[in-house]
Amino acid sequence: MNINDFMAVAPVLMVTLAACTTMIAEAFRRQREVAAAHWFGLYGLIGLGGAIAACVSQWNQNLVGFGVISVDNFSVFFNITLCAIGILTIVLSLGNADRDQLPLGEYYTLMLFAIVGMMLMASTTDLLVIFVALEIMSLGVYVMTALKRSSVEGAEASFKYFVLGAFSSAFFLYGIAMAYAVTGTTRLDEIGMRVASSALDPGILTIVAMVLLLVGFAFKVGAVPFHMWTPDVYQGAPTLVTGFMSTGVKAAAFAAFIRVFLSTLEPLRLDWAPVVMVIAALTMILGTVVGVAQTSVKRMLAYSSIAHGGYLLLGLVAASSAGKAAMLFYLVGYAVTNLGAFGVLAALATPDRQHDDVRDFAGMWRERPGLSALLTFFLLSLGGFPPTVGFIGKWYIFNAAIQEGMYALAIIGVLTSVISVFFYLRIVVMMYMSDETAPEGRPAVSPVTTVGLVVAFAGVLYLGVLPGGLLSLAADSVASIF
- CA gap 294, 288 in Å, rounded: 10
How many CB atoms sit inside 10 A of residue 135's CB? 17
pLDDT at residue 395 in the model = 93
pLDDT at residue 81 in the model = 96
How many CB atoms sit inside 10 A of residue 1's CB? 7
Domain range for 446 is 3-479
Contact 105, 24 (CB under 8 A): no
Number of domains in the chain: 1
Cβ neighbours for 20, distance < 8 A, ≥ 6 positions apart: none
- CA gap 96, 100 in Å, rounded: 6
The crossing angle, in degrees rounded to 10, of helices 250-257 and 297-317 is 20
Per-residue pLDDT of the chain (482 residues; tens, 9 = 90+): 677 778 889 999 999 999 999 999 888 876 655 555 667 888 999 999 999 999 999 998 888 888 888 889 999 999 999 999 999 999 998 878 777 778 888 999 999 999 999 999 999 999 999 999 999 999 999 999 998 887 888 889 999 999 988 888 999 999 999 999 999 999 999 999 998 887 667 889 999 999 999 999 999 898 988 888 888 899 888 889 999 999 999 999 999 999 999 888 888 888 899 999 999 999 999 999 998 888 888 889 999 999 999 999 998 888 766 678 889 999 999 999 999 999 998 888 776 777 777 888 888 888 888 888 999 999 999 998 989 999 999 999 999 899 888 999 999 999 999 998 888 998 998 888 877 666 666 677 888 889 999 999 999 999 999 998 999 999 888 888 76
The crossing angle, in degrees rounded to 10, of helices 73-94 and 321-348 is 10
At residue 403, the 3 state secondary structure works out as helix
pLDDT at residue 198 in the model = 78
- Between the alpha carbon of residue 3 and those of residues 6, 9, 10, 55, 69, the distances in Å are 5, 10, 10, 16, 14
pLDDT at residue 36 in the model = 56
Nearest in space to 453 (alpha carbons), one of 342, 362, 298: 342
Helices (H), 124-268: 127-145, 152-183, 188-197, 204-220, 230-236, 239-244, 250-257
- CA gap 413, 307 in Å, rounded: 9
At residue 159, the 3 state secondary structure works out as helix
* Type and span of the H or E element at 455: helix 447-465
- CA gap 377, 153 in Å, rounded: 29
Contact 286, 313 (CB under 8 A): no
Question: 116-159, pLDDT tens digit by residue?
Answer: 999 999 999 999 999 999 999 999 999 999 988 878 888 899 99
Question: 87-120, pLDDT tens digit by residue?
Answer: 999 999 887 877 777 888 899 999 999 999 999 9
Q: What is the pTM of this model?
A: 0.94
- CA gap 2, 7 in Å, rounded: 9
- CA gap 359, 351 in Å, rounded: 19
Q: Residues 384, 470, 71, CA angle at the centre, nearest 5°?
A: 125
Q: What is the DSSP letter of 184?
A: S
At residue 350, the 3 state secondary structure works out as strand
CA atoms within 13 A on the CB side of 110: 19
pLDDT at residue 247 in the model = 93
pLDDT at residue 30 in the model = 66
Contact 322, 395 (CB under 8 A): no
Helices (H), 69-151: 73-94, 104-123, 127-145
pLDDT at residue 440 in the model = 63
Nearest in space to 47 (alpha carbons), one of 23, 75, 73: 23
Q: Exposed, middle or buried, 163 (CB in 10 Å: 0-12/13-18/19+)?
A: exposed
Cβ neighbours for 365, distance < 8 A, ≥ 6 positions apart: 372, 373, 431, 432
Contact 200, 155 (CB under 8 A): no
